[in-house]
Structures are given as structure tokens and as C-alpha cells.
Structure 1
């Protein structure tokens, strides 16, 4: 067998091994999407309970706030940005499109904004673009790692000097659309939207017995708001992880198709070279037979 045929056999073996890895990663990405989607769905009842509690607190505190003297206005702090990217590659333009959305917000903002990033690849892109990254967290590898990450983010944003007195936080993450497409999204986390608060106050209580707020409303309201922040960050992280795996799934499917096309070309070349080698060996045998018995032999066909 010729050296070129052996080289083709080696290339086919390497491509087949790579295809096995790609298909394994594709299966893992498809399985991971489901667990993060289920995590988002599991938040629905928890969010409903927290929103009902917030509605009760806001309604019962509305009268006292209306009667209280007006507070002097405070200068708004720079809006802090929380960005959910990825640590690993093979996700297409997952980080690039998200970072571009973040940079657009930074360019339109009043000045330098503190940025907390989840994911080393998104952090590197933001640092290269000149963003003020004040903290970086690793991307959790499973649903169980989301809650500890959210607690660390809450602690980091609450303790930042620019966010203590007047917190302003905005979330940036990728969200799945139409089952597989990924779309960069940004949402205001703090301060709470006035229309959203008004909607909570107007929502009806699900039972006939009306709830009552025991004790002062401010401490209860702070606890419920923190739970609301936890839910919002948890959902953003879970949706980001689901969309990251959707991007990886799409990238692995493209890679699988490309490898299959490469293998088809290599197999065709391998079979052609092997057939040419067999034809040459047959011609040599025929020529030797003709020389031995004195019979002329036709020339070998061109490969």
C-alpha cells in the first residue's frame, strides 16, 4: 500500500475520532438545555408567591408613604451591569453578540459603569473593549451551582460603593428564541419599575380571606425585594446557560455535517487510490506473464 493511501487512512481515523467527540458534545448540550429550561419553569410558583407578598406589602405601605413627607432627591448612581457570558468556547457568536449589546449600553450611558461578568470569555472581550469590569464569576456547571452564584452576585453588587445608597442594576444575557435561536437581552433589575409595582398592588388575592401585614412593612418589603432579585438573577443565569448550550448544539451540528462531508471526500480519495494500486499490481502481473510466455501486453490504463 502506498504512503498516500496510508496517510488517507490516518486522516479518516482522526476525522472519525473527532466526529465521535463532536457527537458526544452535541448529546450533552441537548441534555443540558432541558435541565435549565426545567429550572426556569420551576421558578414560576416561587415567583408568584413572592409577587403576591410584594403586592400586599406595597398596598399596605402605600398610605403611610403618601402621608410621609417628601424625601429630598438623590443623584442617581451609575448603573451597574451584570453580564452572563460563557467560560467555554465552541458556542459560535454567543459572547460576541452579547458583548456588543453591552458596549452599546455603555456608550449610551452617562459615564463609567461597574460591570460584573459571569464567564471568562465575555470578561476578556469586555476588558479588551475598555469596560470597567469590577468582578468576574465562573459559569456554573449545573443547576445546583446557580443559587451560590446568585448569592455571590447579590453580595458583590450590594457592597459596591456606587450601589449602596441608590442601587441601579441592569442584566445582560442571551435568551433562546424559537427553540434554538439565541437573542441578546437586557432587563432593568433595580430600581423597581413603577408600572410593575402598580400592577402588583392591583392584583387580586387568590382567596376570600384578605392577608394582613404583621409588624412594620419596611423589613418585610426588603426581604421580599431581595427574593425578587434572587429570582430574576437565577432566571437570567438559567436562560443564559440554556442558550449557551443551544449555541453549542448548533455549532456541534454544523461541525458534524462538515466532518461528514470531509469523511466522504477522504473515503472517495482512499477508494480511488486503492483501486489504482490494485490496477497497477494486476498490470504488473499481466506484464510479467506476457514477458514469460512471449505475449505482448497492452499498456495500463491511465489513472
Structure 2
């Protein structure tokens, strides 16, 4: 009887330790969500500036290098953002399945760069041609070095600004739900993309003019556009990952609370049963002793 009671005590102690870990991870996930959401909001003003600059350059008749080339038959690349760590529910499965379905509808065999070990394994098991894998950044400050690595390695296999098509896949945070998978065609910057930018209205009555090096200015703005697109995709993926982890920790915390309630109930019933048996033995012994006297 005492061994069973001790066993229950050990289970209760282990559950409480696990509960402490879950609450810590829950707090970290909640704080991380705010960081990445703030970075996306802060990026919006910068993107607006770059968008207006591109609109001015394209209005003045300058065209991006991609618009002068045919983008048919070029190589296809994809960048898929996932996670390195677990405890994120269906986060990696959702984005991996979405990327696999989308890439299956494209001609040829695309090369895929995965951000995150777990999504890399999922895509590799599906038979996709994996071109590389990157570690998931653990802070907002670590996103910029990651983007630089992606650009360097991708340019080593396919030249940005050529005939290639490059797609981004990541989970996007949602207010009503946790997140949803989305995709973006990053390259080429074709005529449709340029026509949409020329329709962006200038905020004042006086239109600006780019002097001297218009092609160089356009190339610089395009580089910033690519950087912003990659940065935003990574930040939104990280916000979605932590939202998924927060939801998973909330479910785990609820399960642990139910387990502790069950263990405490079993422990108290066992203790009461043990006490009742001891009292019964005392009473029985007293009665037997009284009869002998």
C-alpha cells in the first residue's frame, strides 16, 4: 500500500515539474509573438517607401532587367519556411503539404531551400529536390543574417534577376485562426508586377523625378524589395510558429491539470483507504483485547 502511495507521489511530482516547463515555454512563446508581429508592422513603413520609389522609377520608363527576358522554361526555385524545434502542432505539416501541392502543379523539377530542419525532412521525404537547409533564427536580429545566407546560396545555384522563377512559402498569422499557409512569387519581376506598381498613387500633388543614374536606382530598390519580401516571410513564419507553440502549450497545460486532478484524487482515496484500514485494525485489536479481559 505504501509503495503505491509513493508511486503516486512521484507521478504528481513529475507532472508538476512538467507543468512548470510548459508554463515557461508558454510565456516565451507569447512574448516572442509580440516581437515578430512588431517587426512586421515596423517593416510596413519601409516597404511603403520602397514601393513609392519603384513606382517613380517605372513611371519614368525604366524597366527591370527581368522584363526584357522571357521567363518561360527557366529554372524554378522555392524557399519554404518551417521550424527547427517541435511542439508546434501541425505547423510544419501544413506548410509542407501546401508547398508540395503548389510545386506539383508547376512544370519541371524545382529546387527547394528549407528554413528549418523539420520542414526540410518533411519535404525531402516527399521526394522534392532539396538545394539547401538553413537554421531558423531565434530572434528578430538574427533574421537579417539569415536573409543574407539565403541570397548568397540561392544566387550560387541560380542567378537572381535571370530567367528563374522563385517562390516563397510560409505560414501567415491570422486573427480568427492561428495561421494559414500562403505563397508569393518572388521572381521574375515581370510586366504584370511593374504595371501594378505604376498604378500606386503618389501621396502629394507634385511627382518626384529621379536624376542621373535611374537604372542604378531601380536596381537598388529591387534589392530592397527582395530583402523586404524575404524578411517579412520569415518574421510572419516565426510569429505563426510561436502562435502554434503557444496553442500546443495551452493544450498541454490543460491536459496536465486534468492529470494532476486525477492523480490527486487517486492519492487522497488511497490515503483515506489506508487510514480506514489502520483504524479498523486498531478497533479490532481493542475489541479482541477487551474480550480476553
Q: TM-score range by the shorter chain?
A: over 0.9
Q: Is the 8 A contact 2:71 2:164 kept in 1?
A: no
Counterpart of 2:141 in 1: which secondary structure?
helix
How far is 1:185 from its partner?
Answer: 0.9
**Cα RMSD (Å) of the superposition?**
2.0
Q: Is the 8 A contact 2:113 2:133 kept in 1?
A: yes
1:34 matched to 2:34? The reply is yes
Partner of 1:239: 236
How far is 1:30 from its partner?
Answer: 0.6
How far is 1:242 from its partner?
Answer: 0.2
TM-score (norm 2): 0.93
- CA distance in structure 2 between the aligned counterparts of 1:285 and 1:74, rounded to whole angstroms: 93
Partner of 2:143: 146
- CA distance in structure 2 between the aligned counterparts of 1:53 and 1:13, rounded to whole angstroms: 61
Partner of 1:198: 195
Q: Is the 8 A contact 1:56 1:201 kept in 2?
A: yes
Aligned residue pairs total 290
How far is 1:75 from its partner?
Answer: 4.1
Counterpart of 1:206 in 2: which secondary structure?
coil
Aligned 1:251-290 pairs, distance under 5 A: 251-290=248-287
Partner of 2:291: 294
How far is 1:102 from its partner?
Answer: 1.1
Q: Is the 8 A contact 1:180 1:246 kept in 2?
A: no
Name stretches of at least 5 consecutive residues in structure 2 with no aligned partner: none
1:60 matched to 2:60? The reply is yes
- CA distance in structure 1 between the aligned counterparts of 2:199 and 2:160, rounded to whole angstroms: 30
Partner of 1:7: 7
Q: Is the 8 A contact 1:78 1:162 kept in 2?
A: no
- CA distance in structure 2 between the aligned counterparts of 1:54 and 1:145, rounded to whole angstroms: 27
How far is 1:109 from its partner?
Answer: 1.6
Q: Is the 8 A contact 1:40 1:235 kept in 2?
A: yes
Name stretches of at least 5 consecutive residues in structure 1 with no aligned partner: 296-303
- CA distance in structure 1 between the aligned counterparts of 2:172 and 2:137, rounded to whole angstroms: 17
1:127 matched to 2:139? The reply is no
One of 85, 93, 97 as aligned partner of 2:94: 97
Instruction: Label 1:184 to 1:75 Cα distance change in 2 as closer, same or farther (>3 A).
Output: closer
Q: Is the 8 A contact 2:75 2:163 kept in 1?
A: no
Counterpart of 2:85 in 1: which secondary structure?
coil
One of 217, 223, 227 as aligned partner of 2:224: 227
How far is 1:199 from its partner?
Answer: 3.0
- CA distance in structure 1 between the aligned counterparts of 2:164 and 2:219, rounded to whole angstroms: 13
- CA distance in structure 2 between the aligned counterparts of 1:201 and 1:169, rounded to whole angstroms: 22
Instruction: Label 1:96 to 1:73 Cα distance change in 2 as closer, same or farther (>3 A).
Output: closer
Counterpart of 1:189 in 2: which secondary structure?
strand
- CA distance in structure 1 between the aligned counterparts of 2:68 and 2:219, rounded to whole angstroms: 19
Partner of 1:16: 16
One of 214, 219, 224 as aligned partner of 2:211: 214
1:249 matched to 2:241? The reply is no
1:157 matched to 2:154? The reply is yes
How far is 1:140 from its partner?
Answer: 0.3
Larger radius of gyration: 1
Q: Is the 8 A contact 2:94 2:181 kept in 1?
A: yes
Q: Is the 8 A contact 2:113 2:131 kept in 1?
A: yes
- CA distance in structure 1 between the aligned counterparts of 2:32 and 2:68, rounded to whole angstroms: 49
How far is 1:177 from its partner?
Answer: 1.3
- CA distance in structure 2 between the aligned counterparts of 1:76 and 1:191, rounded to whole angstroms: 12
Q: Is the 8 A contact 2:81 2:169 kept in 1?
A: yes
- CA distance in structure 2 between the aligned counterparts of 1:173 and 1:103, rounded to whole angstroms: 12
